[in-house]
Amino acid sequence: MTPAASFAALAAANTSTTGCSERQVVWQSGKVKLYRYRPTARPAASAPLLIVYALVNRPYMMDLQEDRSLIRGLLSEGLDVYLIDWGYPDGADRFTTLADYIDEHLAGCVEQVLQAHRLSDLNMLGVCQGGVLSLCFSALYPQRVKNLITMVTPVDFHSPADLLSKWARHIDVAAFVGAGNVSGDVLNQLFLSLMPFRLTQQKYVDLVAEPPDRAGLENFMRVEQWIFDSPDQAGAAFREFVTWFYQENRLAQNRLEIAGRKVDLHSLRVPILNLIGKRDHLVPPAASLALRGLVGSKDYTALEFDLGHIGMYISARAQHEVPASIAKWLASR
């Protein structure tokens, strides 16, 4: 591709669409939407799989494009996939708490899926911060979760390599949040500051120096769009999350309470699959691996992939390995 053609392709990719699998909204509560994906293969699991994504980014990363879609991979394995989209919180959501997210929105989505399938429990896949919410939900509503999968999920927030946690520990979170929401753009700056030379310089210089083909440029722009399409965070929930998890490490120390109820990971007995990125700079492996020693489940499996945080969803290698691992693990339970 000539430089002029590369430039044109990059400019055209500015308006790229995201999400490639057919889906429909099956339930909505405020800004939260529950999607069900159209099955594409013979059903393989007895219970549907609900994906609980993080609050800090948009969930379309799970279904970015045809050849980079965790959801597409799960569908092709015969799983019945649901996904929660938390939406974009605005000023009216500033007092929304973690209890609201877990007891109302997440619990509401779970009830909807269970009613639709006439089941008493489902399979849950929590991604990153969504994995933390899933762990809390599973501990609070153990009868509702059949199998729990956590993916790039921090549990011990004070592991030595956790730079975000080190930075967060001295911050006055109450003053930072104030009475408002937390800007997604500000959070983005923080995430970029974890590896500033690679994330704010090198990847663009690489693009200039060795422009990829048209498909590569479009892929670059989709990821770029996802990285900077960061929702603002509901102030109260953000303050609780940073204080309770990053600063006080309550989940790992078994002293977390949500709306006055203890989140006791020791009481968690469901089968657990823990998926970890060995090169994850946001959630260091040790932060996830700590889960094993904290849960009461006898059926615990950890799978480590030689991938980074984002690579766990969209790398070519992840497409081959991650959905198949999940499906195989679920099929044997």
Candidate residues 197, 260, 298, 332; the one interacting with another protein per rule CB under 8 A? 197
Beta bridge partners of 244: none
Choose between 192 and 289: whose C-beta lies nearer to another protein.
192
Q: Does position 331 bind another protein by CB under 8 A?
A: no
DSSP H/E element including 49: strand 49-52
Choose between 120 and 201: whose C-beta lies nearer to another protein.
201
Which ranges in 253-315 belong to alpha helices (H)?
Answer: 285-289, 311-314
Q: Is 160 left (phi over 0), alpha (psi -120 to 50) or beta?
A: alpha
Nearest to 187 by CA among 98, 56, 86, 54: 56
- 128 is an active site residue: yes
Q: How far apart are CB 155 and another protein at their closest, in Å?
A: 20
Nearest to 231 by CA among 173, 167, 185: 185
Q: How far apart are CB 169 and another protein at their closest, in Å?
A: 7
Count of CB atoms within 10 A of residue 14's CB?
10
Q: Does position 66 bind another protein by CB under 8 A?
A: no
Per CB under 8 A, contacts with another protein among 209-238 are 209-211
Candidate residues 7, 22, 41, 67; the one interacting with another protein per rule CB under 8 A? 7
Candidate residues 107, 163, 286, 289; the one interacting with another protein per rule CB under 8 A? 163
Q: How far apart are CB 236 and another protein at their closest, in Å?
A: 10
Q: How far apart are CB 200 and another protein at their closest, in Å?
A: 5
Which range touches another protein (CB under 8 A), out of 82-90, 188-196, 252-260, 321-329? 188-196
Token code pair at residue 45: 């699991």
Token code pair at residue 171: 């911050």
Burial class (CB in 10 A: 0-12, 13-18, 19+), 170: exposed
Q: Does position 260 bind another protein by CB under 8 A?
A: no
Q: How far apart are CB 201 and another protein at their closest, in Å?
A: 6
DSSP H/E element including 321: helix 316-331
Choose between 7 and 88: whose C-beta lies nearer to another protein.
7
Measured distance CA(190)–CA(264) in Å, rounded: 31
Size of the site for another protein (CB under 8 A): 38
Which ranges in 81-183 belong to alpha helices (H)?
Answer: 98-99, 107-117, 129-140, 163-168, 173-177
Q: Does position 172 bind another protein by CB under 8 A?
A: yes
Longest dimension (CA), the chain: 62
Q: Does position 175 bind another protein by CB under 8 A?
A: yes
Choose between 191 and 300: whose C-beta lies nearer to another protein.
191
| Mutual angle of helices 3-12 and 214-228, in 10-degree steps | 40
Candidate residues 204, 215, 259, 328; the one interacting with another protein per rule CB under 8 A? 204
Candidate residues 15, 24, 208, 332; the one interacting with another protein per rule CB under 8 A? 208
Token code pair at residue 199: 């994330």
Choose between 169 and 333: whose C-beta lies nearer to another protein.
169
Nearest to 37 by CA among 17, 56, 59, 55: 59
Q: Are 59 and 85 in contact (CB under 8 A)?
A: yes
Q: Does position 91 bind another protein by CB under 8 A?
A: yes
Coil, strand or helix at 105 = helix
Tell me the one-letter amino acid at 59: P
Q: Does position 196 bind another protein by CB under 8 A?
A: yes
Candidate residues 41, 195, 215, 259; the one interacting with another protein per rule CB under 8 A? 195
Q: Which residues bind another protein (CB under 8 A)?
A: 3-4, 6-7, 91-92, 94-95, 163, 166-167, 169-172, 175-176, 178-180, 192-198, 200-202, 204-211
Residues designated as active site: 128
